[in-house]
Amino acid sequence: MIIILDAMGGDNAPLEVIKGAAMAASEYDVSLRLVGPTDVIKECAEENGIYLDESKIEIIDAPDVITMEDPPLSVRKKKNSSMTVSLNLLAGGGGDAMVSAGNTGALYAGASLIVMRIKGFRKAAIATVFPFKNPTLLLDSGANTVVSPENLCQFALMGSVYMEKVLEIDRPRVGLLNNGTEANKGTELLVETHALLSRYERINFVGNVEARAVPFGACDVLVTDGFTGNIFLKLTEGLGEMLFKRIKAMYKKNFLSMLSAAVIKKEFKAMKKEFDASEYGGAPILGISKPVIKTHGSSDALEIKNAVRQAVNYVKSGVTLELAESIGAAVPSIEVVHESEETEPLIEYADDPATDETDDGGNEQSI
């Protein structure tokens, strides 16, 4: 299996990406393609004493970089950037999955336009696992600010399949993020979506879920639009960080509190690890015809390594084929595209990504 790594994506690139790649190569049975300026990657590795095993890590030259400030369609203008070259490698069969900590908008646009969506899905969605006691998958967590009831139903399907296949949760419970649990609560969009989700047997819909109930295991998959989801995500991350800092300060207050901290040090570290999103290794962009994983822009080597592990699990799980076969069961108006009888999936470009300026309508692949 080959995992493609965008070496120049993220605030800590290329050093942390290179370190993460070296860790992944030594721990997992996988080959890596590290994409970025060859001289920069080699110099960085040499200066920091990082061994890049040539039998497992191949460097692919890509002299340009998409920065965090670049607009989403930079993937078209910067064709020699590490992100664009990585996406083209994935689309062309040069790898089984791709990982990047780079510009989220550019990665989402590039995944939709270059790698392309699974036939039948109107939009892809960024899915984030919250490391609560019972992991909860949020989607969309930032890609689509404007959505329809059909889009949200498809997000529910994506999340259900992902949690079933990757985290092995049987019949994951799907909740719709809302300001109340009653069926008639919320905006017109949410009321219509609630009615649609209630009809689909493929989705184990448990109704509307209030934000405060999510950390207590109200659902396994939480569905919302990308604007609301991103706010929920960042508020939750901020609250978690604030609480851990307050607890740490409390235990450092005096000698007795420091003694009590020593007693529960092991349990505290275990709880902190449980809430560490880096343990899951980033967010998959679901609905894309091949696995694309987005990690935090501030990712360190551990998160990069774990993102590689997540990419491997994604490929092995068969999520993509399952989504292609399940789409018709979730939304009856959408055509199902089945796998061909050949041993390898038959992939056909439904449209030329170079001529489509949006992620709607075209840019789909039959699988």
Residue-level length of the chain: 367
Distance (Å, rounded) from C-alpha 101 to C-alpha 308?
12
For all residues of the chain together, what is the average pLDDT? 86
Same domain? 44 vs 133: no
- Taking alpha carbons only, the member of 283, 275, 310, 237 closest to residue 132 is 275
The mean pLDDT of 236-254, rounded to a whole number, is 84
pLDDT tier at 216 (50, 70, 90 boundaries)? Answer: very high
For residue 278, the model assigns a pLDDT of 57
- Residue with the bigger pLDDT between 134 and 301: it is 301
Which of 280, 302, 322 lies at the terminal end of a domain, its last residue? 280
Same domain? 133 vs 276: yes
User: Collapsing DSSP states into helix, strand and coil, what is residue 130?
Assistant: strand
User: Is residue 336's pLDDT more than 50?
Assistant: no
CA 339 to chain centre: 24
User: Collapsing DSSP states into helix, strand and coil, what is residue 1?
Assistant: coil
CA atoms within 13 A on the CB side of 279: 13
Residue 165 is which amino acid? Answer: K
* Pair type for strands 364-366 and 348-349: antiparallel
- Taking alpha carbons only, the member of 96, 182, 47 closest to residue 18 is 47
Total domains in the fold of the chain: 2
H-only helix segments in the chain: 15-27, 38-47, 74-77, 82-91, 104-110, 149-165, 188-197, 226-251, 255-263, 265-274, 301-317, 319-330
Q: Which two tokens stand for residue 276?
A: 């560490």
Which residue in this structure is represented by tokens 């076969």? 325
* Pair type for strands 125-126 and 57-61: unpaired
CB 117 within 8 A of CB 124: yes
The mean pLDDT of 308-337, rounded to a whole number, is 75
| φ/ψ of residue 332, rounded to 5 | -55, -25
For residue 236, the model assigns a pLDDT of 86
- Taking alpha carbons only, the member of 132, 126, 103, 102 closest to residue 274 is 132
The mean pLDDT of 7-28, rounded to a whole number, is 95
Same domain? 144 vs 265: yes
The mean pLDDT of 213-233, rounded to a whole number, is 95
Distance set, CA 38 to CA 45, 245, 278 (Å)? 11, 40, 27
User: Is residue 342's pLDDT more than 70?
Assistant: no
At 245, which CATH number? 3.40.718.10
- Taking alpha carbons only, the member of 126, 139, 216, 226 closest to residue 174 is 139
Taking phi over 0 as left and psi of -120 to 50 as alpha, with beta for the rest, 10 belongs to left
For residue 21, the model assigns a pLDDT of 96
User: Collapsing DSSP states into helix, strand and coil, what is residue 330?
Assistant: helix
Which of 233, 258, 280 lies at the terminal end of a domain, its last residue? 280
CB 13 within 8 A of CB 7: yes
For residue 327, the model assigns a pLDDT of 80
For residue 259, the model assigns a pLDDT of 79
User: Is residue 340's pLDDT more than 70?
Assistant: no
User: Is residue 94's pLDDT more than 90?
Assistant: yes
User: Is residue 238's pLDDT more than 50?
Assistant: yes
Same domain? 275 vs 292: no
* Pair type for strands 283-286 and 125-126: antiparallel
Q: Could you tell me the pTM of the whole model?
A: 0.85
At 10, which CATH number? 3.40.50.10950
Domain assignment of residue 241, given as a range? 128-280
The mean pLDDT of 209-214, rounded to a whole number, is 95
Same domain? 208 vs 330: no
Model confidence pLDDT, tens digit, residues 150-200: 999 999 999 999 999 988 999 999 999 999 999 999 999 999 999 999 988
For residue 337, the model assigns a pLDDT of 35
Which of 245, 280, 315 lies at the terminal end of a domain, its last residue? 280
pLDDT tier at 348 (50, 70, 90 boundaries)? Answer: very low
For residue 345, the model assigns a pLDDT of 30
Distance (Å, rounded) from C-alpha 334 to C-alpha 314?
25
For residue 258, the model assigns a pLDDT of 79
pLDDT tier at 338 (50, 70, 90 boundaries)? Answer: very low
Same domain? 97 vs 169: no
